[in-house]
Chains A and B, each alone.
Chain A
Amino acid sequence: MMNTQLTQHTHQMLKTNGVEKVNDKTKKKDWTEVEKLAFRIAFIFFIIMSIPWNWKWYTDLFAIHWTGLHYRDLYDIARFQPSFPVLSQWFPDLYGYADWIVVLFLAIAGAAIWSVVDGKVKNYNKLYYWLLVVARYRAGIGIIGFAFTKVLPVQMPYPSEGLLNTDFGDLTQQKIYWLSIGIVPWYQVFTGVVELLAGTMLFFRKTTFYGAALLVGALGSITFVNFAYEGGVHIYASYFVLYGLFIMSYYIPRIYRLMISEQYTVPINYYPTFNKTWQHALRFGLKTAVLIVFLGVLFYVQLLNFLYDPYKQPSSPGVTKLRGYYDVRAFYLNNVLIPDNPYDSLRWQDLTFEKWTTMTFKVNKAQRLDLSNGGGNPIRDIDRTFEIAGVGGGRRVFHYYADTVDKVLYLQDKNIAAAAFKRGGQRNDEGYPNRPENKQESLTDNYPEDWINERAWRHIGDENKMIDPKGTTARRSRAFATLPKEVIRRKMVLHYEVSNDGAFVTLKGLNENRDSIRVELIRRDRKYILTKSTLDAGQYGKIQ
């Protein structure tokens, strides 16, 4: 009833003089020179921002195995931002925003030429529409790529046992923020849903404004978080704020008119009319493809990732009967007992076996720390460093391959900052994003190349196959087909023995200096007051 009344009312008003005025104000046929210039700049700016300029983006796109899809394949397609190091090196860094300034200069230069060529045009209504389409889809696809890693909470994992036993002050700011979301997985789901909602609403004209408003609110907050906690992704977060503001700015005049000026408001939109069938088919086809790929397929592959191969944490199950928290009852180094003292620089304390293939312990000795955010998309468990990145307090974190037949663990330090690089070896950032640029001298490994012999490898098996076959992806298999990065890590070879009831564990073997150690462990039922996670990623089997 209300609607019909109002429509009638509107029709009446359209006939009156008032409406002419309305038309004059909102339905401007001619744009002013300033408006035209501003639009030209904005147009070039947002088009450059919306195009992937890195050649690798295209090679990655065409290298995708659509039959063995990994979530990261689509995530990488959705995630790009302009980077012109050749030009931006001439500008001050400006917290990393130099690339934006470069794009702005290009846009101004382009707009200047455009103004000369195209001075007589009356308005850019049509082009404005298409620019908004580009911005909406760029922002929508980009944010959805991010959203699903939270909707299926893998971006911020629940703290591992080793992290739970690290003091609050021994973590970096970035780590503390990420963990604070990791401890509440359902809240993480909510933040993902907000981003997903924002992105999805941007795909439809009638919900675009709400999507843009939500995007500005959510990503504005994330931008601030990244500045405040040194999260490191403030530029990409603010990229979306910029898009959101640009899209919102289309609607703000009419909202202002209706709500602040309190005047009758006629929304006028320039929507292209499609006359030909192929135009309809193309529009429908493209839109459907985006929705299917970025809402349907991406959700599915992200679900597989969440269930079988959560990318931030190692995905191979650890030795079941070892898992847990231990006190170091006795510690022998070269057969000499070292008494319990938390300030001893040799003795181990506070040992954990995670549910995946990681052992951690504490030693009161300074080491070079990995201050990265433990992100990226490493495939091998040893490179998945969330449990060590940004963690101090003397915590040592070792990845292990377990030979469960001969009961031997082959351990390697996961701390990439403490690793050395082979002479002439590859030192680029590709394999290890955010790796500290340590000036460490090249070393020779004190373990032989075949420190894990063939028999042991037979018992250990193929790491690629350690996860549920449903988690198999082309990307994963491809990574395991190539050799691991040539770095020299601290290594240990430890034989383990577990008492029948699992209460005692003895580790015996050679440490990183090839000194003999013997570590007697006693299992403790460590009670945390922090609430346990109710939504766990990965498959690690049952804990005994």
Chain B
Amino acid sequence: MENSAINGQTSWTKHGMILFRFFFVYLMLQAIPVDVKFYEHLRQINWWNIGFSDIFNISRYTRQIVNSPVTPDFWGINTFLDWGIMALIAIISAVFWSFIDKRQEYASLYYWLRVVLRYRLAIGIIAYGFIKVFPMQSPYPSLSELNTNYGDLSAWKIFSLTLGIAPSFETFLGLVEITAGLLLLYRKTVFLASFIILCFTGNVFLSNLAYEGGEVVYSLYLLQFALFLLWYDAPRLFRLLSLEKPTLPNTFKVTYPNNWQPKLRLILKGIFIIVFILYGVKTYGVYRKGGYQFPLKKGAMREGFYQVLRFSYNGTNLPFNKHDSLRWQNVVIEKWTTISIKIGRQLEPLTSNVEVIHENDVEKGYEFSGTAGRQYFRYEFDKSKQHLVLKAVDGDKGESFLLNVKQANNDTIFLNGINKNSDSLQIVLQKVDKKYLLEEAKKGGRRSGLVL
């Protein structure tokens, strides 16, 4: 196999042939979605109104032989166990194949394997590229997140929030991915693309390990393709750059015996480009509407950070106490239908460290995953009756409040009602015009002598 890498005309060695048969079966199993489970998912897509999340999920196909957790929005990612099974199948196939097949070389098959892997890798890398180019994967932190202690955030959440505060950097990272993906489409730049991907996705892989992310396996899945693709050109480049010796270029040219074949090639490539553009346009559309990590429905209450002036529980006024599990300390009303409350109880954080695109607001859990400082509620506010209903989405999920709202003035809100145990509550919220250093520092620069 290595020989052919230098020159298609040199003969393949015996062990090179066996190795190739193994990799051919193994990588095809990994990359080609001939897979009942996958078609189950595809069947549920409304093809006439395909969403960007559908394309994203298709792009993240991995063969799951062993059952893995799957939801309509999350199609699952395979595990190393699946990889092991595929490798085993590949070993057995390679043995049988070696007995049956008497061919002398696989230059052409190698070419086609590379074509499959190039496109599989391009799809994977571009899908993630677009959700960064239009900075949605890591959105700007919510007001609740700005009001959470650094130590009450998980490493993965901090990673995402940190990227979120620099959308230009996120866009840049996305552009690197898309550029690499597009370079894969052109045979002669595959070496460059796979090198970029090895560096970029290698970094993603290590970040997943370091920040306890959930896409260790998937990033490695893409990396194995990039490594295999670079393997083809690596000896050539090594010879030229390190040995500094005269080097032969790739001489293998694919031949199309039939007239229709080049046409089919063009059509397929065209379809790929069209889907690429479609996905880009769809992603941009979602970005324009506000992304996918936070709920989209606008909340009816006034957004802001509120201090709790008074908190009366069953008629008793509870003074401020950081460790009181009942008394509210402060309240954030988000732009959308989320309210988060700081209470004295430490909550068990939810962890969702895999990228999942949810269609419905109810399921969008980004804001309260990987954080323990506040309790999150989704709210419904009936403006005519001034009724506010809060339902917990993390921590004690049974928690709920039924409250009557009285707007004393622009900034002060009286809440009067009950919790889930029908304990009566009287709460006074006062909006605070809180200034965040994160935002204020940007306005003046380093030497502004900011007072905050």
Residues of chain A touching chain B, judged by Cβ–Cβ distance below 8 Å, are 1-2, 5-7, 9-10, 13-14, 159, 163-173, 176-177, 179-180, 183-184, 186-187, 190, 206-207, 209-210, 213-214, 217, 224-225, 227-230, 232, 251, 254-255, 258-267, 269, 327, 339-343, 349, 366-369, 371-372, 390-393, 417, 434, 436-439, 524, 526-531
Contact = CB atoms under 8 A, between A and B. Distances in A.
A327 B437 contact: no
A71 B150 CA distance: 31
Contact of B236 (A258, A390, A530): A258
Contacts of A263: 249
Contacts of B249: 258-259, 261-265
Given A168-B146, A169-B146, A170-B436, A528 B6 contact: no
Contact of B153 (A168, A209, A232, A327): A168
B441 A167 contact: no
Nearest to B167: A228
B169 interface: yes
Contact of B451 (A159, A177, A207, A367): A367
Interface in B182-208: 188-189, 191-192, 195, 199, 206-207
- Best-surrounded residue of B207, B250, B452 (most CB of chain A within 10 A): B452
Contact of A530 (B150, B166, B452): B150
A168 B446 contact: no
Contacts of A343: 307, 432
B254 interface: no
B148 A167 contact: yes
A424 B1 CA distance: 77
Interface of B: 2-3, 6-7, 10, 13, 141, 145-155, 158-159, 161-162, 165-166, 168-169, 172, 188-189, 191-192, 195, 199, 206-207, 209-212, 233, 236-237, 240-251, 307, 319-323, 329-330, 346, 349, 370-372, 432, 436-442, 445-452
A258 B2 contact: no
Contacts of A327: 322-323
A391 B436 CA distance: 11
B427 to A, nearest CB: 16
B240 A254 contact: yes
Contact of A176 (B165, B320, B371): B165
Contact of B246 (A2, A10, A169, A372): A10
A164 B150 contact: yes
B53 to A, nearest CB: 27
Given A229-B169, A267-B245, A369-B451, A159 B437 contact: no
A434 B446 contact: yes
B151 A164 contact: yes
A232 B441 CA distance: 13
Contacts of B247: 258, 264-267
Contact of B449 (A177, A262, A368, A392): A368
- Best-surrounded residue of A7, A340, A391, A528 (most CB of chain B within 10 A): A528
Given A340-B321, A437-B447, A530 B153 contact: yes
Given A2-B2, A207-B242, A184 B169 contact: no
B147 A169 contact: yes
Contacts of A369: 437, 450-452
Contact of B162 (A164, A176, A262, A264): A176
A417 B240 CA distance: 56
Given A167-B146, A265-B240, A393-B437, 20 more contacts: A5-B10, A166-B149, A168-B161, A170-B437, A180-B159, A206-B243, A228-B169, A258-B240, A261-B249, A267-B240, A327-B322, A339-B319, A342-B329, A349-B322, A368-B449, A390-B437, A436-B447, A436-B449, A439-B449, A529-B153
